[in-house]
Amino acid sequence: MTDSSEPSRSEPNFQGLRVSALESRRRDEFARLIERFGGTPTVSPSMRELPIDKNKEAVDFAYRIITGEIGLVIFLTGVGFKHFLSTVEKHVDRQRLLNSLSDIITIARGPKPVAAMREVGLQPSYRAPEPNTWREVLQLIDQNIPVSNLTIGLQEYGVTNHSLVAGLEARGANVLSVKVYQWDFPEDTEPLQKNIESICQGKQDVLMFTSAHQAVNLLRMAEKLGCESELRTAMDRLVVASIGPTTSEMLQHLNLPVDLEASPNKMGQLVQQTSEKCHRILKAKRFTAAVLPSSASGTAKEKLGRLGESLSQSPFLKACYRQASDVTPIWLMRQAGRYMAEYRAVREKVSFLELCKNPSLCAEVMVTAVEKLGVDAAIIFSDLLPILEPMGFDLEFTHGDGPVIHNPIRQAKDIDRVARLESMDALSFVTQTVEQTRRALPERIPVIGFSGSPFTLASYMIEGGSSRNFLHTKSLMANDPSAWNILMDKLVHSISLYLNSQIVAGAQVVQLFDSWAGCLSPNDYRTHILPHMQRLLESIIPNVPVINFATGNPMLISCLRGDSRTVVGIDWRVSLDVG
């Protein structure tokens, strides 16, 4: 049994995609890496370090180390450490400075300052763990070094890290910062200009950042060329990859998309992981571009539910994006139901499946529930299973027994008749429900779309309904992994189309319900489910929060964490403090 519509996942490969990067010092090496993984590289240097002339502050910084005024020094970059020594060596005794550094506490933010210090015979007292951000520096200090009333010297790199400075000062430290170099454009800016023009013209598929300041210089040059708006729009339609958290934070600060982040934050890992994941992300982003009219105003992010405007008003969206809120947002997964007289009146006239297929009634029921309860978000009124009908299953909701599949999968060969969802025509009532619910609610109330997760939908397909032990599902999963993977591939493809269509229709958040995942052990989940869930998350339009909710087994929580936009849902079996 084969499914040739899915590309091979055996080897990460760009498969000829056009890959742009802004690396300067290791330009040629980076281009070779892209080619090695099957990409067509365009690597243009975007910046260079310039020592600060007549840097009296650096000399004063060195004297304060020698005299013992500074009791701890944090070196953020290797090139910064080297520039510091070369800047001050004409003014202070080099060996005396090195001896003084060896006598006090020193912290290296990552491997590059460690290597630079070792070149001159110094061993840092501490090294911040990966991913080497300012958060790890502060965590290391909290665990090992009391800094109250201590004078800390901070070697900066081009721009001030205000979060690190504020964190040190909040702990009672006196911070003395020194800049030893600044960023500028490369001497030859023509390659960078041509790269920007290529991106704006839609001639690139992937853009990779290996440094935070590359993003700053990219926008500076685009502004100089008069095409910043075109560049931002173009970046909504290609895959943007970041080497690590510091670079991602800068991209987000500049309101640029971040579609994936390398882990660990190494150049080789960035290229390999991007080559593996970019196809699904690119498909999701181009799906958005295809269904949204090109003549419409605003960027894709603004069209997708006006997230930026809603975020300032919604405590629920703030929580999804890990931002502080004045209140704890509340919503209910079953907000509309039999407790409502209005719902019971509707159900007297139509069956449950007929209700699910009537967008006007679905929107009316949900809006009534939101107004009655005063909640902070609205999940659309629908069900997990209507998606199965266009995939080839005969679905019925029977009184007392719930959903029944009359033609379940009973043998591996039955998977051949399972159709991949290629169009939302048969499910247009779902997107219409999203649209009508969105229009009927205040902007401050986000709309949540949803789908069943691959395992739960597969369980219904195989068991024919609910089950106590999921014997048929587990048997296929364990005894015929090839057939199982083909079924999962079809579900991942279908669910991603289903959720992306809801997002484009106006859902600002989507949720994946894995109602039956609790029957699996953590090992079974990691082996048979997690790889498919990771592909599914990568296939959903970037930057839209995805709530990953699996019930029944608290041991699965660690498996539910996805990318940076994933929200983990927990049930009553997990206390909030543990969650």
Query: Which residues are catalytically annotated?
Result: 334, 338, 347, 383, 460
DSSP-derived 3-state class of residue 303:
helix
For the record, the structure tokens of 226 come out as 């008069």
CA separation for the pair 127, 455 (Å, rounded): 42
> Closest Cα to residue 567, out of 435, 473, 470, 446?
446
Q: How many CB atoms lie within 10 A of CB 86?
A: 13
The helix-helix angle for 190-200 and 228-235 (nearest 10°) equals 60
CA separation for the pair 364, 45 (Å, rounded): 55
Cα–Cα distances in Å, from 508 out to 309, 382, 470, 472? 11, 16, 33, 36
Alpha-carbon torsion, ordered 449, 262, 309, 279, to 10 deg: -50
Q: Kindly calculate the radius of gyration of the chain based on its CA atoms and give it in whole angstroms.
A: 27
Q: Is residue 374 within 8 Å of residue 331, measured between CB atoms?
A: no
Q: How many CB atoms lie within 10 A of CB 471?
A: 11
CA separation for the pair 410, 474 (Å, rounded): 12
- Number of C-alpha atoms within 13 angstroms, CB side, residue 432? 14
Q: How many CB atoms lie within 10 A of CB 579?
A: 11
Tally of residues, the chain? 579
> Closest Cα to residue 574, out of 518, 497, 493?
518
Residue whose pair of structure tokens reads 């290391």 in the numeric block:
140
CA separation for the pair 507, 438 (Å, rounded): 8
Q: Look up residue 528 and give its DSSP letter.
A: I
CA separation for the pair 39, 28 (Å, rounded): 14
Burial readout 474-488 (b: 16 or more C-beta within 10 A, e: otherwise): bebbeebeebbbbbb
Residue whose pair of structure tokens reads 């009333």 in the numeric block:
149
Helical ranges in 307-453 per DSSP H: 307-311, 315-320, 341-347, 352-356, 359-373, 428-440
- Number of C-alpha atoms within 13 angstroms, CB side, residue 383? 20
Q: Is residue 369 within 8 Å of residue 376, measured between CB atoms?
A: no
For the record, the structure tokens of 566 come out as 């994933």
